[in-house]
Amino acid sequence: MHIRTTLRKFLPIYGFASGGPLRFKRAVGHRDLFYIDDKDVDLKDVIEASLPKAPLDTAVTCHWLAIEGVQPAIPENAPIEVISAPSDTKKHEQKDDDLPVDIKLPVKHILSRELQMYFDKVAELTLSESDSALFKEALVSLPTDSGLHPLVPYFTCFIADEVSRGLNNFPLLFALMRVVSNGNSAPNLETK
C-alpha cells in the first residue's frame, strides 16, 4: 500500500512492453551479470520498410479527472474499447432541405453551486484584486481543499484564455502564475 501512495503521481512508462517472455543471457566472464537478449535490427531494413497506413479518422481524446489515481467509470471517461469510429450513416443526418448536419452531443459537467461560486470568486480576484487578502486566502485554499478536482478543467481554460489575452499585463500574468503554482502543489489534484 505504501508504494502505491508513493508512486501515485507518476505516470506509467509506455512503449517498453514486450509481446513475449524476456530472455536473459549471462554476460561472458561475469557469473552474476545478466542482460536481456534483444534481437538486432538492421537500420537499412527499418528505413526501407513501408510505412503503415494512416488512420481513417483521427481523433484526440483528453482525460482530466482521476480520483486517487483511478479513472472513474463515467461516460466522459469511456474506455477506448467502447469508443468506436462513428459510422457514416450516424455521422451526418439529413435535414428537410437535404443539407448534412453534424450531430454533436453536449458534454455536461455538473458543478455544485458552491464550486461555481468558488470558481467565479477566484477568477474575479485573479483578474481584479490580486493584491487583496481574500485572494491570498484563496491561494492558500487551492492546494489544501480536496474537493476542487471538478474545477481543474475550468481553471485550465480560464488561465489559458487570460494568458493569451493579457500577455502585456504583467500583474495579471503574475497572479495567474500564483494560481497555477498553488494548484500544482495540491497533493490531491491530478493536474497533469
The string of pLDDT tens digits covering residues 142-189 is 888 878 888 888 888 899 999 988 888 899 999 999 998 888 887 776
Residue ranges per structural domain of the chain: 113-184
Q: What percent of the chain has pLDDT over 90?
A: 11
Tally of CB atoms within 10 A around 86: 12
pLDDT, tens digit, for every residue of 48-106? 988 888 777 766 665 556 666 676 666 666 665 555 555 555 444 444 555 566 666 56
Write down the pLDDT at residue 91: 47
∠ CA 42-43-48, rounded to 5°: 105
DSSP 8-state code for residue 70: B
Identify which has the larger pLDDT, 68 or 25.
25
Query: Hey, is 37 helix, strand or coil?
Result: coil
Write down the pLDDT at residue 17: 61
Write down the pLDDT at residue 67: 66
